[in-house]
């Protein structure tokens, strides 16, 4: 009995990952308890051996692990532990994504159809139209970044990394373990409910009423430009290249991960990062800037599988897109944490910087305390009008982008499915007729049959061109709009912060009357909401200028490739045409 153990919860193995599927109540034999990283090796009654998360198994007494933990499915355990937050997606999301794993594009479809769970729907209608105020737009924070973050554990590969890291971090005393680790070593990211720790407790009044701006902090200046308030842009545009994905292994080769080179144009020196490092950066940027600046989500986590090569390429391309967008943002790219990510010198430098970033208290709405607009204060009515305008615009653009994604997705399917099949059938029919003609025994047949065969082959080539074309043009149009969908999905949260602040300012007189705040506080609040508005306007102007550039660029690229495509077809058909003769 010493070697057998009871399975506590269902666990579905990730194919090709040396894992073992087990069911609650099943008895397994422990074959290796020392695998590490939160895993043990077990054998089931059918003799199959594989890895199972150690917390899924009730180990024999005296083992080093906690025998009982909360059930992995939230519904079973009202006392949500960190483990729950991790385990539920592992059982659900992962499997859903695995079934879609063959099609890296399915995310377009999923996201665009999941209307009920998107940010716009979650937010009360009144918040957007401005007719009624949402008392707490952040109340739905847990659901408010569906695209931004698909929940931890969506990628087995990655959450396995985390387990491992948490353990090694604990051992090495990495500060990250304090915030991110847990007693059992099985925790994942911090709870989504706590994403804005400085804010969710107290709302925008934390900034509106803070007694004095922190001393000696970095200042973010807003200038009045031709288009209105603008961020201060650096002279040289920061940029970086994400390249050279390399596979690394650990746990005696049982587990693998991908490491990328990130090469900033400032140092031209590559630094190594894994997906989880990008994810860490995303979390830091979201914490720090999310109230003022939409921080788009990272590319979706996805299960690796048979299409690993393609998946890695796609993820790298999307990480590149995300990094490029972050580099382009004057406030984000200038931040310490972003600079650390791009230019850390060595392991020690990275760890020190990481600890510092995680301890940063200038997060949530406090970011506004760093902002200094070089312009006169705005009237609160104007602040509200601007905010409503941005809300309407971003909502409308979100709809437009999703519409284009839906249409594009259908077009993609047609171009890679029925359409090339049809051209192929046309090509085959020509060739088939040609080969019948060849059997006529009539002399002088060859010119026609050669021409027919050639025309048939041309249509087969066209079939292939049609099927391959979307990757050359529609792909980029889709990626661009997908990126914008992600960005736009952040606006309800960002705008919500502003709306909440505006409501607080509107309550000013009442709060003074009730002696909750002083008349001076009321004046300060109006001034500070003006600062917030300048920030929002600067951000919108940044968004617009980027949008105009991005859409011009992607439409150029799309149309250029479309022109080439049609010209090539015309040229091929012209050649096929020249072989026929009625002389």
The CB-of-285 to a second copy minimum distance in angstroms stands at 25
Q: Kindly provide the residue ranges of all beta strands, DSSP E only, lying in 166-284, ordered along the sequence.
A: 220-225, 228-231, 240-250, 255-264, 271-274
417 lines the binding site for a second copy (CB under 8 A): no
Selected binder of a second copy within 218, 374, 379, 560 (CB under 8 A): 560
Kindly tell me the burial class for residue 149, based on how many C-beta atoms sit within 10 Å of its own C-beta (0-12, 13-18, 19 or more): buried
Selected binder of a second copy within 115, 234, 400, 519 (CB under 8 A): 400
Selected binder of a second copy within 53, 137, 408, 470 (CB under 8 A): 408
Is 276 marked within a binding site?
yes
Nearer to a second copy, 148 or 455 (CB): 455
The CB-of-331 to a second copy minimum distance in angstroms stands at 19
Nearer to a second copy, 93 or 454 (CB): 454
The CB-of-405 to a second copy minimum distance in angstroms stands at 9
**What is the biggest distance separating any 2 CA atoms in the chain, rounded to whole angstroms?**
108
In angstroms, the CA 417 to CA 211 distance is 63
DSSP 3-state of 196: coil
The sign one gets for the Cα dihedral 489, 493, 498, 502 is positive
Cα torsion at 558, 564, 566, 571 (round to 10°)? Answer: 180
Beta bridge partners of 52: 40
389 lines the binding site for a second copy (CB under 8 A): yes
Spatial CB neighbours of 405, under 8 Å, sequence gap ≥ 6: 108, 111, 112, 478, 481, 482, 485
Lay out the site mask for a second copy across 520-559 (x = CB under 8 A, - = otherwise).
--------------------xx--xx-xxx-xxx-xx--x
Which H or E run includes 43? strand 39-43
Rg, C-alpha atoms of the chain: 29
Plot region of 580 (φ>0 → left; ψ -120 to 50 → alpha; else → beta): beta
Beta bridge partners of 6: 27, 58
Nearer to a second copy, 121 or 570 (CB): 570
Selected binder of a second copy within 414, 471, 516, 527 (CB under 8 A): 414
Beta bridge partners of 243: 261
Is 325 marked within a binding site?
no
DSSP 3-state of 182: coil
Structure tokens at 524: 């300060």
Lay out the site mask for a second copy across 176-215 (x = CB under 8 A, - = otherwise).
----------------------------------------
Selected binder of a second copy within 32, 440, 464, 518 (CB under 8 A): 440
Selected binder of a second copy within 115, 396, 464, 518 (CB under 8 A): 396
Nearer to a second copy, 252 or 442 (CB): 442
In angstroms, the CA 154 to CA 298 distance is 13
226 lines the binding site for a second copy (CB under 8 A): yes
Nearer to a second copy, 93 or 391 (CB): 391
580 lines the binding site for a second copy (CB under 8 A): yes
Is 274 marked within a binding site?
yes
Q: What would the DSSP string read from start to end of 347-371? A: HHHHHHHHHHHHH----GGGGGGGE
Q: Which residues are annotated as a binding site?
A: 274, 276, 315
Q: Which residues bind a second copy (CB under 8 A)?
A: 226-227, 389, 392-393, 396-397, 399-401, 403-404, 407-408, 410-411, 414, 418-419, 422, 425-426, 429-430, 432-433, 436-437, 439-445, 447-448, 451-452, 455, 540-541, 544-545, 547-549, 551-553, 555-556, 559-560, 562-563, 566-567, 569-570, 573-574, 576-577, 580-582
């Amino acid at each position: 009995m010493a070697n057998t153990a009871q399975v506590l919860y269902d666990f579905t193995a990730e194919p090709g990952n040396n894992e073992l599927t087990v069911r609650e109540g099943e008895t397994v034999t422990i074959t290796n308890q020392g695998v590490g990283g939160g895993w043990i090796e077990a054998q089931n009654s059918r003799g199959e051996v594989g890895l199972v998360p150690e917390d899924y198994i009730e180990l024999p007494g005296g083992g080093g692990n906690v025998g009982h933990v909360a059930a992995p499915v939230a519904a079973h355990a009202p006392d949500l532990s960190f483990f729950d937050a991790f385990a539920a997606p592992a059982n659900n999301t992962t499997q859903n994504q695995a079934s879609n794993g063959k099609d890296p594009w399915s995310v377009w479809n999923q996201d665009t159809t999941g209307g009920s769970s998107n940010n716009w729907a979650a937010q009360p209608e009144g918040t957007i139209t401005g007719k009624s105020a949402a008392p707490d737009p952040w109340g739905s924070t847990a659901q408010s970044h569906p695209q931004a973050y698909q929940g931890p554990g969506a990628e087995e590969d990655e959450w396995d990394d985390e387990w491992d890291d948490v353990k090694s971090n604990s051992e090495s005393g990495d500060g990250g373990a304090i915030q991110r680790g847990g007693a059992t070593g099985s925790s994942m990211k911090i709870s989504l409910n706590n994403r804005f720790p400085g804010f969710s407790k107290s709302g925008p009044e934390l900034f509106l009423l803070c007694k004095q701006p922190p001393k000696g902090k970095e200042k973010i200046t807003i200038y009045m430009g031709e288009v209105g308030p603008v961020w201060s842009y650096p002279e040289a545009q920061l940029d970086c290249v994400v390249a050279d994905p390399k596979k690394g292994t650990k746990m005696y080769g049982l587990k693998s991960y991908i490491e990328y080179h990130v090469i900033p144009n400032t140092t031209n020196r590559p630094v190594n990062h894994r997906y989880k490092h990008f994810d860490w950066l995303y979390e830091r940027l979201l914490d720090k800037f999310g109230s003022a600046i939409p921080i788009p989500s990272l590319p979706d986590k996805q299960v690796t599988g048979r299409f690993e090569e393609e998946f890695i390429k796609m993820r790298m391309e999307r990480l590149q897109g995300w990094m490029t967008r972050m580099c382009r943002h004057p406030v984000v790219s200038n931040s310490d944490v972003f600079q650390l990510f791009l230019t850390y010198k060595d392991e020690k430098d990275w760890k020190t910087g990481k600890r510092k970033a995680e301890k940063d208290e200038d997060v949530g709405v406090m970011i506004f305390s760093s902002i200094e607009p070089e312009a006169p204060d705005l009237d609160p009515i104007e602040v509200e009008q601007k905010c409503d305008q941005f809300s309407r615009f971003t909502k409308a653009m979100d709809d437009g982008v999703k519409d284009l994604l839906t249409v594009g997705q259908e077009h993609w399917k047609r171009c890679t499915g029925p359409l090339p099949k049809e051209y192929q059938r046309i090509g085959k029919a020509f060739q088939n007729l040609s080969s019948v003609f060849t059997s006529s025994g009539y002399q002088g047949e060859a010119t026609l049959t050669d021409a027919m065969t050639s025309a048939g082959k041309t249509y087969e080539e066209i079939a292939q061109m049609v099927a391959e074309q979307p990757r050359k043009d529609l792909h980029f149009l889709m990626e661009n709009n997908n990126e914008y969908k992600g960005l736009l999905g952040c606006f309800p949260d960002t705008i919500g912060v502003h709306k909440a602040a505006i409501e607080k300012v509107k309550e000013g007189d009442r709060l003074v009357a009730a002696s909750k705040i002083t008349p001076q506080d009321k004046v300060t609040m109006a001034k500070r909401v003006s600062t917030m508005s300048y920030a929002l306007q600067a951000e919108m102007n940044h968004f617009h200028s980027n949008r105009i550039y991005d859409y011009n660029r992607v439409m150029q690229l799309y149309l250029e490739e479309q022109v080439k495509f049609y010209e090539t077809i015309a040229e091929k058909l012209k050649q096929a045409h020249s072989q026929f003769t009625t002389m």
